[in-house]
Structures are given as C-alpha cells and as structure tokens.
C-alpha cells in the first residue's frame, strides 16, 4: 500500500469466535517470507499483525521469516493468545 493519501494502514486479525448458535470459528494464520509495509494504525494503535483470543492448540498460527516496517503502530500484538 503506497498511497500517501490514505491516512491509515492495514492490519491482520486472527481470532477464535463462537457464534450465537454455539458454532466455533477457529482462526489460524500462516505467514512465511511476507513483507508488511505501512501496516498498523497509528490513530487506533492497532498493530500490523494481531492475535486476539486465539488459543486453540490444534490450530497453531505461524510467523516465519517476515518483515514488518514503516508501521503506524506496533508490529505484532498478542492479546489473550497462545500457540503462535
């Protein structure tokens, strides 16, 4: 994303949810050799890559050899998450 007219950056969110019908949605992200440039949101302080309530041991997320730079906020945020 190189458009300087856009004042906010992207972010990726991985989470586990349970829908109202008790249907579980289990999040998993696998990033290998990815460049995240100009991600993160300075006005909301959301990191470029976020894991929120992502705890399923059978669905491990992976971040392998990635680059995060020129971020508007933190690069990675973990909130109540494990197995990453």
Q: What is the pLDDT of residues 9-40, one digit of tens each?
A: 788 999 998 888 888 889 999 999 999 988 88
pTM value? Answer: 0.80
Q: Sheet of 12-15: strands edge to edge?
A: 12-15, 49-52, 76-79
Give per-residue pLDDT as tens, 32-78.
999 998 888 888 888 999 999 988 888 889 999 999 998 888 899 99
CA distance 60 to 57: 6
């Amino acid at each position: 994303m190189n458009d300087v007219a856009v004042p906010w950056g992207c972010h990726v969110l991985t989470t586990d949810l349970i829908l109202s019908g008790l249907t579980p949605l289990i999040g998993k992200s696998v990033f290998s050799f990815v460049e995240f440039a100009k991600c993160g949101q300075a006005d909301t302080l959301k990191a470029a890559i976020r894991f929120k309530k992502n705890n399923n041991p059978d669905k491990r997320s992976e971040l392998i050899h990635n680059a995060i730079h020129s971020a508007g906020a933190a690069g990675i945020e973990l909130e109540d998450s494990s197995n990453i």
